[in-house]
């Protein structure tokens, strides 16, 4: 598993309660929270691709650290509840 994904899982677990992780590959994970659509996150070298509800968002890893992406996931779940 990539170091970015490892750090991201730690950050998300500390910020979002009730979230479950499924490792899809060493470079991709899925997030599940009851009542919400699946979120897929894939590490692609210099970028991170986040897929939510059929939409894909591309983040530059230089600017988007794991704690920043975890905060985005937290806000997404808070907004949808």
Residue 81 pLDDT class (50, 70, 90 cuts): low
**Total number of domains in the chain:** 1
Say how far apart CA 73 and CA 64 lie, in whole Å: 13
Mean pLDDT, residues 13-38 taken together: 93
DSSP label at 81? -
Say how far apart CA 37 and CA 80 lie, in whole Å: 10
Average pLDDT over the chain, rounded to an integer: 93
Q: Using the structure block, give the residue that is written with the tokens 């905060």.
A: 71
Domain extent for 29:
3-80
């Amino acid at each position: 598993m990539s170091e970015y994904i490892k750090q991201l899982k730690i950050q998300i677990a500390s910020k979002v309660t009730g979230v479950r992780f499924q490792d899809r590959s060493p470079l991709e994970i899925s997030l599940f929270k009851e009542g919400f659509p699946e979120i897929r996150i894939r590490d692609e070298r210099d970028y991170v691709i986040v897929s939510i509800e059929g939409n894909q968002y591309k983040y530059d890893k230089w600017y988007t650290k794991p704690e920043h992406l975890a905060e985005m996931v937290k806000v997404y779940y808070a907004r949808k509840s």
